[in-house]
Structure 1
Amino acid sequence: MGKIKVLFFIYQMGGGGAARTLLNIINNLDRNKFAPMLVTLNMNGSYEKELKEDVKFIKLETTRLSRSIGDLANIIKTEEIDIVFSTIPRVNTIAILANALSRSKAKNVIREADNLGGSFRENLQLLVFGMVYKRSSQIVSLSEGVKENLVKRYKIKPKDIKVIYNPVDVDNINEQINNGTINPDHQEIFNTTDKIIITAGRLVPQKDQRTLLNAFAKVNKQESSRLVILGEGPLKDELLQQAAQLTIEDRIHFVGFQSNPYIYFSKADLFVLTSIHEGFSHVIAEALASGTPVVSTDCKSGPAEVLDGGVYGALCPVGDADDVALNMLRILQLNKEERADIITKGHMRAGHFDAKQIVKQYEAVFLETLKK
């Protein structure tokens, strides 16, 4: 029996959590059983260079999802694909339609990665996605909270959903910390006796860095600190203006996207996430694996699951800058023994999401799906 051919489809191998998850699954799949292939739109992605050399990588001619169906269908058929794996609603929809058009034996496994919905228009759109999702062979949710949302808003039956947490490549994180270096342009930021607070994520409303800046301004009045922000996005100018209004602009450092964020995490005293909603919050698990204590908003639906209800890090109400600041100060002012205990527990928790274990769960799903 030949290897099972798994085609992974995503619009771009960019710097987001979905691309990082696909990278970790692809690189850690058992090559004795599976032959992974990656297909993206004609867009460059920062994670492309981290793919293992044996991964067949195809870029479609188009940069638009709606125009990718025919080419993707042709690849599924000519490559004799067994499993088509995709993530993100619109990408999932295209993957399902392309597989149907291919008239092949391939099965669709789709992954839902966020807690979407809320407005009437969004909820209606999710119902449409749910109708298409039901044509797949298996749906994977990256957290229990996202599963609940799939049942509630997509109208998917609970029995049709498997929960598999995001894989965190702990070995790779350790290697990048041990062998990586901070960009020379940023080294001066860390040459200080100030406390270093760090966050990572796109500069978009969902991540709510405005609340983080308000909380940081309060913290800095009591504990001399610096805030390092990893990520890019449309809100950068607004956040710079807010920092100026709070008179903390000389304390905030926007360092953009970094292919090795872990070396930055490892040199920080605290990682903070103030998102309004998340699916799993991959970056929290990565911060724990990097040995960095975590403060996060208790948004739906990932952080509480990653931090086990607050056992492995502090949880705060969404948008509550006062509570975020209090928890930041509490952790920053711990003594060495207390801090060491938090770091040890964080490493232990990150191990629960180790890619080696999580990818085995995906492999089991792929094998089960082929039997349907």
Structure 2
Amino acid sequence: MNQSSKIAVLIISAIKGGGAERSVLTLGQGFYELGYEVHILRFKSLTEYDLNPNLNYHMLKFKPYKLIPNERIRHQLFARAVDKFITKKIGKPDIILSNLEPSDRVMVYSKLPNIMYIIRNDISHKFKLTENHNLEKKISRLQRIYKTHPCVCVSKGVENDLQARLGTNITSTTIYNAFDKQLIENMSNESFSTPHRMLQPDQYILHVGSLTYQKAHDVLIKAYAKSSTDYPLVLLGKGKLLEQTKALVKNLGLDDKVIFLGFNKNPYPYMKHARGLVLSSRFEGFVRVIPEALALQVPVVSTNCPSGPSEMLPSDSLVPVDDVEALAIKMTELMKDPQKFKVDFDEKFLPKNIAKQYVDYLVS
């Protein structure tokens, strides 16, 4: 390690196969390109992505602290351990970025300087603030966490929601997710093979995302059933609604047209060869797969959920959330004339450019 380098520490619970985790690794690359010594600190061993060799990885297990019954004391003691670990094993960080609530609940008690929270989701939906049950208690708890350090939101929609829900005493800004266009292109050139004889380049429509309520696969499948396309629908992802989604596919008689490929740590070959990408989400923070598809010149249509898609796509590429008929029409248009939905990748999303925004915000 170069001791003369500035140090960036990115903290996340685990490196599982989600968009936030991929975002952490990509942002880490951005800091590396700025000349930082980059450290990823996680609290669980779970790793589902190939690790960027330019970054340094550490693990400090949270599991033993779960035996402490009082949540606040548990997080206070673990935060003390995190501070000690960083100081002794890493050094004096110039910037510390906490990712997702499990990490945020710990870092609220940290005594280290230069900490920022990265808010990657619309908190209204993430924490069910649209429901009245325990609403005041939920908001108070979130305010206690997020007023302690500046918040960086991954889209304007996420920041607007954060301020609306938690109040203007929360310090926040918007910095978009980073996307390594060259890496995406390189990974998209890996072998494209599948046991499904129906899966031919430019002859299928693709959805990438966990099978959860948020991603609205029920709306996607129903819209696909109503669309006027014979191209198969390919689903990349796993999740707790997998069996429910398969049952819906069967009930609609789509067994021979909907292909479940599960989670793949490299979705880019499938993305590159897709005729088009479709998103059906009810809510999002930013939606990584949109700029990833744009980096590969793949056309995209999406639901216009409260944050994310409208900040990257023109209005003609968007449909209302939970509108099966509108999505069916748009999917038909996408399959018939993909070129109509092509949008250029914006280089403002490149890792080095995004990391520079964090540095500028910290010193502003």
Cα 1:122–1:41, aligned 2, differ >3 Å: closer, same or farther? Answer: farther
Query: What are structure 2's unaligned runs of at least 5 residues?
Result: 67-73, 125-129
Give the match for residue 166 of structure 1. 177
- Say if 2:123 is the partner of 1:111: no
- Which amino acid is the alignment partner of residue 91 of structure 1? S
Report 1:224-235 matches (<5 A).
224-235=230-241
Other structure's SS at 1:14 match: coil
Off by >6 Å, runs of 4+ in structure 1: none
Check the 8 A contact 1:127/1:153 in 2, yes or no: no
Give the match for residue 203 of structure 1. 211
Give the match for residue 260 of structure 1. 266
**Matched residues in 1 for 2:231 and 2:204: separation?**
6
**Matched residues in 2 for 1:183 and 1:12: separation?**
29
Other structure's SS at 1:250 match: coil
How many residues align structurally?
344
Cα 1:217–1:17, aligned 2, differ >3 Å: closer, same or farther? Answer: same
- Which amino acid is the alignment partner of residue 71 of structure 1? A
RMSD of the alignment, in Å?
Answer: 2.3
**Matched residues in 1 for 2:296 and 2:135: separation?**
36
Report 1:217-296 matches (<5 A).
217-219=225-227, 222-296=228-302
Give the match for residue 199 of structure 2. 190
Give the match for residue 358 of structure 1. 354
Larger mean CA deviation between 296-305 and 71-80 belongs to 71-80
Check the 8 A contact 1:277/1:301 in 2, yes or no: yes
- The percent of aligned pairs where both chains have the same amino acid is 25
Calculate the TM-score normalised by the size of structure 1: 0.86
Query: What are structure 1's unaligned runs of at least 5 residues?
Result: none
Deviations 1:283-318 (A, max 9, x none): 1111121221111111111111121x42xx611111
Cα 1:342–1:173, aligned 2, differ >3 Å: closer, same or farther? Answer: same
**Matched residues in 2 for 1:126 and 1:77: separation?**
32
**Matched residues in 1 for 2:18 and 2:5: separation?**
29
Deviations 1:231-260 (A, max 9, x none): 110100000100011000111111111121
Q: 1:154 aligns with which of 148, 152, 166?
A: 166
- Which amino acid is the alignment partner of residue 25 of structure 2? L
Cα 1:196–1:135, aligned 2, differ >3 Å: closer, same or farther? Answer: same
Task: Quote the offset at 1:184 in angstroms.
Answer: 4.2
Report 1:44-63 matches (<5 A).
44-47=46-49, 49-53=50-54, 55-63=55-63
Cα 1:255–1:275, aligned 2, differ >3 Å: closer, same or farther? Answer: same
- Which amino acid is the alignment partner of residue 173 of structure 1? I
**Matched residues in 2 for 1:331 and 1:58: separation?**
44
Give the match for residue 221 of structure 2. 213
Deviations 1:13-44 (A, max 9, x none): 11111111111111221456421111112232
Counting helix residues as a fraction of each chain, which structure ranks higher? Answer: 1
Cα 1:58–1:320, aligned 2, differ >3 Å: closer, same or farther? Answer: same
Check the 8 A contact 1:190/1:267 in 2, yes or no: no
Calculate the TM-score normalised by the size of structure 2: 0.87
Give the match for residue 140 of structure 2. 127
Other structure's SS at 2:7 match: strand
**Matched residues in 2 for 1:122 and 1:254: separation?**
37
Check the 8 A contact 1:232/1:256 in 2, yes or no: yes
**Matched residues in 2 for 1:164 and 1:142: separation?**
5
Other structure's SS at 1:225 match: coil
Give the match for residue 79 of structure 2. 69
- Which amino acid is the alignment partner of residue 353 of structure 2? Q
Check the 8 A contact 2:185/2:296 in 1, yes or no: yes
Give the match for residue 317 of structure 1. 320
Cα 1:109–1:331, aligned 2, differ >3 Å: closer, same or farther? Answer: same
- Which amino acid is the alignment partner of residue 185 of structure 2? N
Task: Quote the offset at 1:341 in angstroms.
Answer: 6.0
